[in-house]
A and B are shown apart, each in its own frame.
Chain A
Amino acid sequence: MFTTRLTGRNLWIAALILPPLAFMCLFLVYPILSAFAYAFYEWHGLARGEFIGLANFHKVLFEYPFSERTVNAFVHNIFVFFALMVLQNGVGFVLAYCLWRELPGARFHRIAVFLPVVLSTVIVAILWKLFLHPLFGVVNISLRGLGLGFLAQPWQGQDTTALTAIVVANAWHMVGFPTLVFLAGMQRIPTEILDAVRMETESEWVKVRKIVWPLVAPSATVVFTLLFVSAFNFFELPFLMGGVDGSPHGATDVLGLYFYRTAFGSMSASAENFGPGSALAVLIFLFIAILSSAITLWLRKREIQL
């Protein structure tokens, strides 16, 4: 009696799990595995040729001009990661703290800070391109108006400022997300702990460093890991603001753009280069998968259970 019931239940569970599992396999696992396989073949357009082992990997890592571009794009991804860590997560933490302490206007700002997150990336890109327009952009016009005309620059045309401009746009767009996550973490801190601290010290800095920061560690884990993944998958904003070639002269090139351009071709490239493109995709995937797992494990260790 008991066993039959269990079998029926198991069947029922299996019936529920199988369709989504099949779906995942078909649309997630299979494409990833086939991309792995593609990377080991030679390609003529979209027609598969010979099995060539690791030649595609060798090409993107060690052969001119691919290797140069790989390194260039990778360095930019690293820059994006650290810059966003400060501008997005750092500022997000500060904003969350201000909101949590209910500074004047906190209710309004809670919404205002999160608002850009709901905007589509395309809108954000166009908005910032207009902000940074060399002739009519708000940024340059304001600088000129303040008598700081010498600071007005063609932001998106100089290799020194182009990538930073994109990073700032991204931070503006997404800062609400870490703010929200940190705020939720702060609101979970029990009031007893805070009351106890208040008896010890009045210093906000000590409170933040000794109590708040350690106790929002789970939020930090989520936010850092997601930032890592998105910084190395960075694509939409550079694509929309710098173009697929990472204009000017590769200064805004990141791995995502470089992969896209290599695999599918661009106006200035010869044609599709599916082999090296797949090899790049595999390398990016492995890099993100391995490092983000490591980061998650490491960050988990420092979390404190309340």
Chain B
Amino acid sequence: MKKFVISAALALGSLASALPAFAADLTFWTWRQEDKAQYEKFFKEFNKDNPDITVKFEAFEATSYNTILSTALAGGTGPDLMMTRTYGGIESLAGAGYLMPLDKTKIPALEGFSEPALASETMRSNKTLYAVPAASQTMLVIYNKEIFEKNGISEPASWDEFLKSCEKLKAAGVMPFANGTATGWQNETIVSALTSSIMGKAFYEDLMAGKTTFNDPRYVAAIGKLKEISAYFPDGFIGLDYASAQQLFTSGMAAMFAGGSFELASFAKQNPSLKMGVFAAPSLKKEDPKLVGLFFDSGFAANAKTKSPDAALKFLNYVANKKFAQAFANDLSNVSAVPGVTFDSPLLARVAELNKQSIPYMTLVNFRYGEPTGSNLIQAGVQKLLNGQATPEQVGKSMTDGLSAWYAPFKK
């Protein structure tokens, strides 16, 4: 009898101590408040397969998200799971030891992910992955299909054709482009959206191999072509801010917007009847490949100090799988980083198609790891270029000289 009591007590005790390990309440942080309903649906779905794990959604303001997140993680009050930024944005968290290191044994589905996708969430110093890549963004030209049809123009095959279409639109009294450059970062997006094809894959590879710098004639030529096409931006575009530029496009006053695929959702929201198309800005010659600029903008990560690491890993495995990715792509209009996802939206399907011929959005992807950042330099350089205060050569030189402060291959 005594034995039975003891063993019963032991059993109960072990059961009691085992219970918290099974039932886990995880918190999930993101900067996308607008996606709350869909995420709660995803979490319910996850809970069906893992009845003992619940996930709670919490969102914070986008621009200060990283500050809020790193403050909370530093103070030990961070979430179990979180949406993270990429590149320099993940290094500041991973470098401080806040994130759980991941690999293919922990998350087998990572096997099929593309190299650039994994690189976006990998810390360069220890080559360790800290988040499951979530979505990519593409720098391209968005156009108003109705305006194109009305003026009898189609997606341009070469740079000359591109200029001719712009001329035709201008003659018809339509603004060819909606872009304005008073908002600093818009000077960076237009470089990638309009000139990736002119720079070309070979330039990017040489740049990464340390064989060339931004003084390269291919880069300088691309910047020169940007200046050329800026003649078709609105009057006084250097004083036109981002929000106004968006409105010029969504109101149908302008035919094209050179920018990121992240615009598509907000454009559609601002004007649901807008019929949009996308294309990669062409290169000088018809036969050259048309390239878009590509970068990854988000990932899913787990807290290194979470109380339920197993449950957190289960969740990361769930978001790395195609079933979730399919819903993530179609319900939230993301170009998912998970391989093999198909898209309901023809526009997103087209973006995913264009992604097959791309070079990275290099100032963001490769040159944001030190001060001054490539982004600082290109924004200032292009603003001076478009203001008539710098030549394309000077822009390339300012990039090379500025980056040589920290980028080893440029140091002499």
Contacts and interface: CB of A to CB of B under 8 A. Distances in A.
B370 A270 contact: yes
Indicate the size class of the contact surface on chain B.
35 or more
Given A249-B380, A265-B67, A268-B379, A129 B241 contact: yes
Contact of A45 (B64, B95, B180): B95
A247 interface: yes
Interface in B171-228: 180-185, 188
Contacts of B373: 268-270
A248 interface: yes
A253 to B, nearest CB: 10
Contacts of A64: 405
Given A65-B371, A268-B379, A47 B88 contact: no
Contacts of A156: 182, 239, 241
Contacts, number: 135
B301 to A, nearest CB: 14
Interface stretch (A12-20, A97-105, A110-118, A132-140): A132-140
Contacts of B371: 65-66, 269-270, 273
B74 interface: yes
A57 to B, nearest CB: 16
Nearest to B236: A134
B182 A154 contact: yes
Indicate the size class of the contact surface on chain A.
35 or more
A272 B92 contact: yes
Contact of A270 (B244, B369, B389): B369
B91 A248 contact: no
Interface of A, secondary structure class, is loop
Contact of B88 (A65, A243, A271): A271
A157 B388 CA distance: 12
A245 B181 CA distance: 13
B402 A65 contact: yes
A135 B380 contact: no
Given A268-B184, A272-B70, A134 B96 contact: no
A268 B375 CA distance: 5
A137 B381 CA distance: 27
A270 B88 contact: yes
B238 interface: yes
B138 interface: no
Interface string A255-290: 000000000110111111100000000000000000
A248 B405 contact: no
A248 B238 contact: yes
Interface in A130-167: 132-135, 140, 152-159
Interface string B303-343: 00000000000000000000000000000000000000000
A244 B383 CA distance: 15
B66 A271 contact: yes
B158 interface: no
Residue from A46, A65, A129, A132 whose CB has the most chain B CB atoms within 10 Å: A46
Contacts of A273: 371
A279 to B, nearest CB: 14
Given A65-B405, A249-B379, A264-B67, A153 B185 contact: no
A90 interface: no
B93 interface: yes
19 contacts: A44-B96, A45-B74, A46-B67, A46-B71, A65-B376, A133-B240, A134-B239, A134-B240, A135-B236, A135-B240, A140-B236, A153-B239, A157-B181, A157-B239, A243-B183, A248-B383, A268-B184, A270-B371, A271-B89
Interface of A: 44-47, 64-66, 129, 132-135, 140, 152-159, 243-250, 264-265, 267-273
